[in-house]
Structure 1
Amino acid sequence: MHRAKFSLTFVCLYFGFNASVLADQFDGYIQASQQFDEWVEKTGTMPRLTDERAAALLATLSDNRRFLDGITFDDAQLPALMDVCDKANRKVMSYVLFDLRSHVDKSMPAETVQQAVLRLEQRNVLTYQDELSELQPFEIRCMARQTPLLARFIERLKPEEITPVRLRGLEQGRKGIDGFFLGTLISANDISLSEHYRASMLKALAETTSQFVPIMKQDEREKLELTAKTASNSAPEGLKGYVEAIAKNLAQSTCEGLCRY
C-alpha cells in the first residue's frame, strides 16, 4: 500500500529566515498549538475528535478561514507564516508517527527501520484519519499561501545570493511537494481510507494546485498530471472532480518562477 510521507515543510534556515517574532493574527493558532503539545506530553496520547476539548483544539488548528483565507500576507510576514506551516506539519506528523519509539530502535538495520516506519505510518493514518482530515487540509493551504512569497523572495536575490544551501532547501521543498501530490492522488482510489478523508485532502489540493505549480519542474508536473488522469478514471464520483481539477492545473506548460532553478 502506497502512502505519502505527509511532509511539505521548507527548512527555514536554508532561506535565512528568523521566525521567532510572530504576527498577531496567528496568536490564536500558536496558543492552540502549545495546548496541543501539552496535551500529548501530559497524556501520552493523541487528541481525538471524540473528546470535546480535543475537538475544539483541532477546530482551531484547522481553521483556514480564520488564519489564512482573505488575508494578504506581505513579505515581512513570511517568517511568521512559515512558522505556522511548520507547526501544522508537526501536528500532522505527530499523528502519522505516533508511538514511533515502540516500533523502532537504534539496533535495527536501516532497511528494517524503514519497513517498520512505513507500517507504523500506514496504521496511524488509518487510525487517525478523522483527525488528519481536519489538520492536513490546513497544512496544504498554509503551504500554498507561503509558496508565492518564497518565490518572490528568491527571485529578488542577487545571483551570488542563490547559494548551494538555498538551492538544496528549494529542492527539498520541491521533493516534498512532488511526493505529497503523488501520494494524495494515489489515495483517491484507496478504499482502506474513508471517502471523507480522501475528499478533504483532494479538495484542498485541487483548490491550491495553481499556487504550487510555479515551484515544480516541468517533467514532474507531467508525471503527476498523468497520475491524476489515471486516478480519475476509477476515482469515486464524489472525488473525480477534485482529481480532474488537479490534473488541469498541472497541465500548465510554462516554466516560470522557481521552476527555473
Structure 2
Amino acid sequence: MEFKPKLNLEINGVKFTYRLFDALEKISETWSQREAAKSLKISHAVLNRRIRDAEYKLGFKLVYTTGAGSGLTPQGFSILEKYKKYQDRLQERSTTVTYGGPVSTGLMDVLSNHYGLETVINSVDDLGALEMAKKGWVDILMLDDPVHAFLYDLDFTPIARDHLMLVSGSDELPDTVQELNGSKFVEIPHSAQRLAWNTLDQLKIDYEIVEACSSPQNALKMVNGNEDLLTFLNNSFISDITIGSGLLAEDTMHIISTVLWNPNPQLEDFLEFILGRGQKIIEKWGFKRID
C-alpha cells in the first residue's frame, strides 16, 4: 500500500482540510470545476459547495468563472502555493511526528508499536504540544486533559478513559476527603489534575500546592522523597509502580484524546485500529476502554 500525507491548514483563524486545497489544485490544472470534480471523484455540486463555503468563511473569492472555464483568483493561487510549500515540506518528512502530554504519549508509544506506525514521539505538556501543532510540526496531537480540546475547538477523538489516584509520600493514605485538610501537594500544570483541584475547592478542603513539576515521573519522585507531600497521578501511570487511593476516582474520570492534525490515509487507518482492536491494548495498559 502507498500512503501519502495530506495537510490541514488554518487561514485567518479558520481551519480547512486538505480537501479544499485538493479542489483548488485540480481547478488550477483543469480550468474546469466539472473536470476537477470528476478527477476528485465527487459531484460538481459538492465541489462548488466546498469552494463557496471556504469563500464565505474567508471573506474573499478563491475561484472565478468565465465562459471559457474556471480558474483561481490571485488570493486562491497564493493560498494554493502556500499549501504546496507546506505539502512539500511534509513529503520530505517521511516519519510521522507526535506531540502530546506525558500520559497520552506513553499510550501512543504502545499503540504505534502494535500497529507498526513509525513515529517520533515528543512528550511535553498539552499546551506545549498545541503550540507545536500550530507551527505545523505535528501530525498526531495527543491530549492528557480534554479541556484543551474544548477550549481550542479541536476536532478530537476520544480513545481511552483514565482517572486520578491520590499518591502519598507516607505509608498511610487518607480514608476520607476531609482528611486532606491541611495537606500539601505537588502540581503538574496543564494536566488533568485540575479536576482534583476543582473537586477539592468545591468541597472547601483547605489544601496548599507547594511544589510544581512538568511530569508525573518527577511528581512521583518528589512525593516519594517527602512523606509530607501528596499528589494526584493518572491510574494508568501508577498502577504497576506504586499504591494509590481512588478517593476522587469518580470525580476525576476523563478522556484521553487525539487529533489527527495532518490527516492522511495511513493515520486514518491507524485511528480505526485504535478505536477497534487497539482498545484491548488500551485496557491492558491500565486505561479504560472508550467503547
Q: TM-score interval w.r.t. the shorter chain?
A: under 0.3
Return the structure number with greater strand share: 2
Return the structure number with greater helix share: 1
